[in-house]
Structure 1
């Protein structure tokens, strides 16, 4: 194995891809998951209170990003958007877009 300028180990695999190993990520343990979920809940509560203004909840956003794996942050962020959309559809109902009408 060789070392790159950043001190990472690189290893060539048979598929001609270059793999960089800096550190192995492990799944969060129970306490880490709880801390992540609590940070997410605090952020969502702040966003609900402040009309989804991220700038008003920057402290909670930073805590959320610091306590959760990046992939979880991405997932929970998309999930919040979906849940807000779902609530809106349940409250207001579906309104089809104006467009060509299907013959009856």
Structure 2
């Protein structure tokens, strides 16, 4: 099975690593194009910032969702045969997600 690491890194970024694209940019085309080319596994990294936001570490990407279910719905609509993994990151340069971020994430995925 062909997979895409850090699926949403085709987007532009803000945050501490935004200008150092070599450290966070893994994809040059959007996930729908990857899907059409045969990719069936997607790795999605998120953090909490008043909504769930795509990221790769401290590179904050432009996609936002109100719930994790919104992420799942988007993937099911656009990539119906895909498998996807949603990973909670902290959105900062160093450290781990906070307790409140972990609690929000685990509550939503149950």
Range of TM-score over shorter length: under 0.3
The structure whose RCO (Cα within 8 Å, separation 6+) is larger is 2
Structure number with the higher strand fraction is 2
TM-score by length of 2: 0.22
Structure number with greater Rg is: 1
